[in-house]
């Protein structure tokens, strides 16, 4: 009798356990489906369609100090695998397209100069329901200050100078092929079609970083730097030059295409001595030059107009050689007939 009761109790326990496991399994599937549905419903606009539990999108941000747009990519793990997804991303897995509203592709620039760097990319690990967003643009394209106001730069073969004549858009695909030895659930592979987004541009009269609020166009003879605001970083400038040209006693400055700059200064002997000391600390230039002139110096605008007195002038120019990086010449001209007492100057 007792053994019979025990067998009945065990049978009831087994049925109850099976029922509980079935209920839990159904609940897990239901919660997984509801989680995926919730993510689909709550995801902001602009995401790609999900492929193998992953979706992505591009975004652009304008830097007010530069014509180069910051390009970002975001990934979101929408799978039901409770583990880290590994994504072998680097910018070479992307193919971007820039077109106008009629889907006409925008031609890439023919500028020959490119001097950019890129980080070493390692595989990303993205947890369940995780989202990651990071920058993928590290500009190095040579450009025309004052003319090129909006630039997308993802490397020498994937760069565009965006005109301001109409609306332009960027879209693309991301493809990571499957590799031998990939885990069937943890290593992601596939192709994502990135939705089209509008490129933010500046209007013809709007400031847009170098070439915008820092410059004013004077015909085709050069560009005047405004004197009531800081000068932006120029292409290939050696370290220390930016601080040197932004001293408070700058009279004016001119940029001549493609890469020559002239800055005029007026000040005391002490001002010039400090300027000369800072100049002597700049490295990665061909030589340190100090050229003396008789009389009083003159600052001027492109074309030779708007002339006014100055005491010294700084000239900088990039020049290409056999080396990978450009050489840079940086020369000081000093006029001895102005406010600078030459016999009180110490040459560093």
CATH of the domain at 53: 2.60.40
Q: Give the pLDDT score at 45.
A: 63
Tell me the two tokens of residue 313.
């002038």
Residue 240 CB partners (closer than 8 Å, separation 6+): 278, 281, 282, 283
Q: How many residues does the chain have?
A: 348
- Tokens at residue 108, please? 């890439």
Residue 206 lies in a domain: no
Residue 107 pLDDT greater than 70, yes or no: yes
Structure tokens of 228? Answer: 């009531």
Q: Beta strands of 67-206 (E only): which ranges?
A: 70-77, 85-87, 94-100, 124-126, 131-135, 151-153, 159-161, 168-176, 190-198
Q: Look at residue 205 and tell me if it is in a domain.
A: no
* Closest of 101, 96, 47 to residue 75, by C-alpha: 47
Domains contained in the chain, number: 3
Q: Is residue 208 part of a domain?
A: no
Q: Are residues 64 and 135 in the same domain?
A: yes
Q: Are residues 161 and 277 in the same domain?
A: no
Categorize the per-residue pLDDT at 202 as very low, low, confident or very high, splitting at 50, 70 and 90.
low
Q: What is the mean pLDDT of residues 150-154?
A: 91
Q: Do 149 and 222 fall into the same domain?
A: no
The arithmetic mean of pLDDT across residues 148-168, rounded, is: 89
Same domain? For 58 and 186 the reply is: yes
Residue 313 lies in domain = 215-344
Average model confidence (pLDDT) across the chain: 78
215 CB-near residues (< 8 Å, 6+ apart) = 145, 146, 223, 224, 225, 226, 255
Residue 220 pLDDT class (50, 70, 90 cuts): very low
pLDDT for res 258: 64
What is the C-alpha separation between 149 and 19, in angstroms, rounded? 67
> Distance between CA 177 and CA 180 in Å, rounded?
10
Average pLDDT over residues 232-261: 83
Task: Return all residues near 227 (Cβ < 8 A) that are at least 6 apart.
Answer: 250, 251, 252, 253
Q: Evaluate if residue 10 carries a pLDDT over 70.
A: no
| Same domain (yes/no): 32, 59 | no
Label residue 87 by pLDDT band (50, 70, 90). very high
Answer yes or no: do 54 and 163 share one domain. yes
CB 132 within 8 A of CB 114: no
């Amino acid at each position: 009798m007792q053994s019979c009761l025990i067998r009945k109790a065990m049978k009831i326990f087994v049925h109850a356990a099976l029922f509980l496991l079935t209920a839990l399994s159904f609940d897990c599937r239901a919660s997984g489906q509801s989680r995926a549905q919730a993510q689909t419903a709550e995801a902001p606009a602009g995401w790609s369609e999900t492929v193998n539990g992953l979706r992505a999108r591009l975004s652009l941000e304008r830097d007010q100090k530069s014509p180069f747009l910051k390009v970002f990519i975001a990934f979101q793990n929408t799978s039901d695998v409770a583990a880290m997804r590994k994504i072998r991303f680097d910018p070479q897995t992307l193919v971007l397209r820039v077109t106008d509203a009629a889907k006409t592709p925008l031609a890439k620039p023919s500028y020959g100069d490119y001097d950019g760097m890129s980080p070493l990319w390692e595989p990303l690990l993205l947890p369940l329901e995780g989202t990651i967003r990071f920058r993928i643009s590290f500009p190095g394209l040579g450009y025309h200050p004052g003319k090129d106001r909006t630039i997308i730069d993802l490397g020498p073969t994937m760069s565009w100078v965006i005109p301001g004549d109409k609306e332009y858009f960027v879209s693309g695909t991301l493809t990571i092929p499957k590799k031998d030895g990939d885990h069937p659930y943890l290593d992601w592979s596939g192709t994502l079609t990135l939705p089209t987004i509008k490129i933010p541009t500046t209007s013809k009269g709007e400031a847009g970083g170098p070439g915008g609020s820092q410059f004013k166009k004077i015909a085709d003879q050069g560009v005047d730097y405004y004197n009531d605001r800081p000068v932006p970083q120029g292409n290939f400038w050696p370290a220390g030059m930016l601080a040197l040209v932004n001293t408070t006693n700058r009279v004016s400055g001119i940029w001549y295409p493609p890469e020559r700059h002239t800055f005029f200064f007026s000040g005391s002997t002490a001002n010039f001595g400090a300027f000369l000391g800072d100049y002597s600390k700049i490295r990665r230039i061909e030589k340190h030059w100090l050229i003396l002139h008789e009389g009083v110096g003159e600052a001027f605008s492109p074309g030779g107009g708007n002339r006014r007195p100055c005491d010294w002038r700084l000239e900088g120019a990039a020049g290409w050689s056999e080396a990978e990086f450009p050489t840079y010449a940086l020369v000081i001209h000093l006029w001895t007939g102005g406010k600078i007492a030459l016999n009180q100057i110490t040459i560093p």
